[in-house]
Chain A
Amino acid sequence: MNKELVGASTGLLVLGILARSASYGYEIVKRLNAEAEGLFLWQEGTLYPVLHKLEKAGLVRTQWQDADTGRRRKYYYITAEGREALTERTEEWNAFNQMVLRLGEVRNG
């Protein structure tokens, strides 16, 4: 899949994952890759700049929690602003997607 397309939508994808339940870095990647069903494979390290950017924008908040392993994990929670942003961006994507499909149909027709 086109990397630029995935890159432009990472924030939206992460918000989508977190909207279902709070999660930590490794688990977010696992869930994203599972959702992708082979469409793309995430370069795991690149998740953190996205997460930290969302946190700075106030769309997610974080909390360190003790894991079963005895180590601490940083959990990410979507905020109310994050949910709003997710709704807005999903609508934008839908509109954009509709346009792409329309243009694609014209070309193929």
Chain B
Amino acid sequence: MDDKLSPATREEIQALCRKISVAHHLDAEIQEELHGHMEDKLAAYLDGEEALSEQDAFILVREHFGDPAALKRLLQDVHVHETHVSLALRLAVAFAVTTGLHALFGIAARAFLHVWPAARGMGGFQAVVALAATTAIVVSWLLLWRWQRGLAAGRTPWLLTRRPVYLVGVAALVWLLQSLAPISVLFDGSAPMLDLGNAWLIIVAAITAWPVLQCIVWLWWCDRPPRRARTAGAVAGVWALWMWLSSSLGILGGCLRAGALPAAASLPMLAQSVAMMLGYFALCAAIACGLYAAASYAATGLARASIARR
């Protein structure tokens, strides 16, 4: 009876038994006993001694079919998800959420620094700004993730019932108001410089990490199967353009608030800074696209491998 089982099958049974670990000094004996049981059962199926019940047959079908989650992922790479949310609306929602949360947490950070000036020194300023930026990104992802689940369950969140133009308009207004809000000028001192010596690389990495993360959140939210490179390109492009525009306008707004329009002589320098910012955000968008694509392909590859293993 045992000759029917191949060494590979025996090894699989052994591996299964090894997973059932009880106590080191007992395991060998317990595993031998379980191994014997499984071999008996398998051989009985092969011999036809053990009848295949409906439940047994279903287990076989399920195992042969593969992990439903992996299969879903593979199918979603091929078929368009049934949703009425257009790319324009998704972009508008991402824009509105990002702008709203950054305004909210930005104002909160500035208010905190105003109320507690002692926090501005010794890296406190950077820590508060970093915390606000990180919280805004995490909360935006949580919100979008919740709405994504709602959409998958057939519900349409309120924000997604609005027209894209309306959302963009409101978000732009929020951005403008938060830029002009009195709270933003309560603390008009420049950020205290932090001397970290040779740690500049860490600072650059950290400064780049936030926009990259934010762009990844946008990509994840807007990316609907079937995955298309041009969709990702469009999303990253819009994101980079908006970031560049808001930063440039922020600089200009800062100059206006200080009552100092850039002198004619300094205009080329200003133009150079603005151009560099465009390059910086384009680079962040490219990094985000690369990371997102790598993660997506890795997940699909794992799903495919898990199906193939069965």
Q: Which residues of A contact B (CB under 8 A)?
A: 24-27, 29, 41, 44-45, 48, 52, 67-74
Contact = CB atoms under 8 A, between A and B. Distances in A.
Given A41-B55, A44-B41, A48-B30, A25 B2 contact: no
A73 B30 contact: no
A29 B44 CA distance: 13
B53 A26 contact: no
A48 B34 contact: yes
Which bracket fits the contact residues of B?
10 to 19
B41 A26 contact: yes
B34 A73 contact: no
Nearest to A47: B37
Given A41-B55, A48-B30, A71 B37 contact: no
Given A41-B55, A45-B34, A68-B1, 11 more contacts: A24-B36, A26-B36, A26-B37, A26-B40, A29-B37, A48-B33, A69-B2, A73-B36, A74-B29, A74-B33, A74-B36
Secondary structure type dominating chain B contacts:
helix
Nearest to B32: A72
Contacts of A74: 29, 32-33, 36
Chain A CB count within 10 A is highest, among B32, B40, B41, B53, for B40
B39 interface: yes
Contact of B36 (A29, A45, A71): A71
Chain B CB count within 10 A is highest, among A26, A52, A68, A69, for A26
Secondary structure type dominating chain A contacts:
mixed
A83 B55 CA distance: 35
B146 to A, nearest CB: 36
Interface in B18-64: 20, 29-30, 32-34, 36-37, 39-41, 44, 53, 55
Nearest to A68: B1
A48 B35 CA distance: 12
A62 to B, nearest CB: 9
B31 to A, nearest CB: 11
Given A41-B53, A41-B55, A48-B30, A69 B37 contact: no
Nearest to B49: A30
A25 B55 contact: no
A27 B41 CA distance: 10
B41 A69 contact: no
B2 A70 contact: yes
Contacts of A70: 2
Chain B CB count within 10 A is highest, among A29, A41, A48, A68, for A48
A26 to B, nearest CB: 4
A24 B223 CA distance: 56
Contacts of A27: 40
Contacts of A25: 33-34, 36-37
